[in-house]
Chain A
Amino acid sequence: MRWLVVPLVLGGVLASAGIFTVSRWTIVEPVTLGMMEGDAQRGAYLARSAGCVACHTDVQKGGAALAGGAPLDTPFGRFVPPNLTPDPVHGIGNWTLDQFAVAVRQGVRPDGKAYYPAFTYEFYNRFTDQDIADLWTAFRTVPPVPVAAARHDLNFPFNLRWGLQLWRARYMTPSEMTPVMAQSDAWNRGQQLVNGASHCAACHTARGLFGGLDTSESLAGNANLPGGNKAPSIRTEALLTRGWTVANMAYALRTGIMPDGDVLGGSMAEAIAQGTGMLTGRDREAIATYLLTPAGQTSVGLPTPVTDPTMGGMAGMEGMAGMKSGGN
């Protein structure tokens, strides 16, 4: 048996060294915003559009603003959105602006460890320095709450935070957006919201075994949302066949009423009540304009007309089934 000792010890040492190396892997790009001035109104609007407030506030239970959100039950375990109030101990009151910037845009904590992608930082990577300063200023207007949110309760091996270093290398998909001169202001603004702050893909794009976004099926829907919810496809062609227009989508993003009259429930009801419903009408139209403009075109597509009775029946059924019509 003695002969086993050496390889086992050696193996153990190598594994520890591997984990040590991975966990020390520097993942932060340094940021220097210094004392940059922020605009609270602009920051608050961004905090609302980006879902910071919705996710980190337990609205259903009447929790204080940003003091920690409702738990998110996922196949990896339970995530609890932490306290982001300016409390120095239980919140982020003793952070610097630079640390805040790294957390939001890069998904890395002040201690250099990575956040889980349940925090949708992948969508915030294009926030400008000014956006960050504005957000920071707005966050600091919220009353501090001296209570820590509960800790995450994750299953092995997902509870090993160093594993996130590997996850980032393999799966992290920072948001992409390219302003297009030929497109309208609404389209460009919509792209910024859909692919960035409003992070539609976080729910409407399927995730792989390890929670990475399946970018090849971007916005094509996700049948496995936390809590048993489903997100339908919001790709242009899918939306057009279901009768969406800029006007009715902008309206739905405030009221939840879909073209067929069904009213959105699930987590979208919360996304509307705590998010898109509080945006400007112009921004809701921008989101709709971007989503409803077919790739490579510069104008919004027309909803599929129902003319041929046979085809009409097909389209109607598909649309209704897709939207859970008449559900009860």
Chain B
Amino acid sequence: MKRSTTIGAIIASSLGAAAFAHNGATGVVLERMNGMSAMKKVMGELAPMMRGEAPYDVAAAQKGAATIMAHAGGNMVKLFPEEAIPATSYAVPALWERWNDFSDLADLLASQAFGLAMAVPNGLTAPRPASPLHDMGTMDGMADMSGMADTDALPSQELTVAQLMGVEPTADARASATVLPEERDNGVLDYTAMAAPAAFEMVSQTCAACHSKFRRGS
């Protein structure tokens, strides 16, 4: 049963890949599609692990982090030469108009993937409650990032009125891609003291930030 499911999945994914090839992407567009797909695959595989649903596999998680690193930063931006955007591409013109924003996000992704690799051995919970991500919150805030499978740690119960009303930033927002790289990389993030799911979510925030700015559709 398990085996047939796996085979089915393999066939499904190869058909899926074939479907993309038939979309007609070629050259550099196809290359970046492949890079994005490789990262997507990693995110899809690691997410259940980071939620505590699938067995935690240090080696697989580190390999995944390495895959993202390999497709981020300079390796990503070099696949986006300025040219007329072919219909097969999901890139939007803003990507070249705001090139620095894009390349900052690509670099940020590389450093966060490196951070993820450092945080992976910590597993689902932080080794000590020292994450700077929560210096604005209470101890309860740790629960949210500790990756206790749950998304359930009720983060907003710790959010203040000012945070909910947008008057003050949340601890999360300060770690996200909406913060300037120099503020963020100011040595305040100690990945060795971070739960792996927290580092993993930072990677996803960067993916989301880049997709919302520079990808067509959703």
- A residues 272-328 near B (Cβ < 8 Å) are 272-274, 277-282, 284-285, 305-309, 312-313, 315-317, 320-321, 323-328
Partner of A264, one of B39, B151, B153, B218: B218
Partner of B12, one of A228, A248, A281, A312: A312
Shortest Cβ gap from A134 to chain B (Å): 11
Chain B CB within 8 A of A239 CB = no
Chain B CB within 8 A of A21 CB = no
A306 to B207, alpha carbons, bound, how many Å?
28
Inter-subunit contact A308/B19 (CB<8 Å): no
Complex interface: chain B residues within 8 A of A277 (CB)? 172
Complex interface: chain B residues within 8 A of A132 (CB)? none
How big is the A interface, by class?
35 or more
Partner of B166, one of A65, A260, A328: A65
How big is the B interface, by class?
35 or more
**Per-position binary interface string of chain B over residues 24-41, scored 1 when its CB falls under 8 Å from any chain A CB and 0 otherwise:** 000001001111110111
Inter-subunit contact B165/A53 (CB<8 Å): yes
Complex interface: chain B residues within 8 A of A174 (CB)? none
Complex interface: chain B residues within 8 A of A282 (CB)? 152, 154
What is the chain A residue whose CB lies nearest that of B6? Answer: A306
Stretch of B42-50, B114-122, B129-137, B181-189 that contacts chain A:
B42-50
Complex interface: chain B residues within 8 A of A327 (CB)? 33, 36, 90, 211, 215-217
Chain A CB within 8 A of B7 CB = yes
Stretch of A39-47, A71-79, A194-202 that contacts chain B:
A39-47
Inter-subunit contact A284/B164 (CB<8 Å): no
Of B153, B162, B170, chain A has the most CB atoms within 10 Å of the CB of: B162
Shortest Cβ gap from A53 to chain B (Å): 4
Complex interface: chain B residues within 8 A of A306 (CB)? 5, 8-9, 12
**Contacts A248-B48, A282-B152, A328-B32 given; 6 further ones with Cβ under 8 A?**
A48-B164, A248-B51, A256-B207, A262-B44, A280-B155, A313-B15
Binding site for B on A (CB under 8 A): 40-41, 44-45, 47-48, 53-54, 57, 59, 65-66, 138-139, 141-143, 228-232, 247-248, 250-251, 254-270, 272-274, 277-282, 284-285, 305-309, 312-313, 315-317, 320-321, 323-328
Binding site for A on B (CB under 8 A): 4-5, 7-9, 11-13, 15-16, 19-20, 29, 32-37, 39-45, 47-48, 51, 53, 89-91, 144, 149-157, 159, 161-167, 170, 172-173, 176, 178, 201, 204-205, 207-213, 215-218
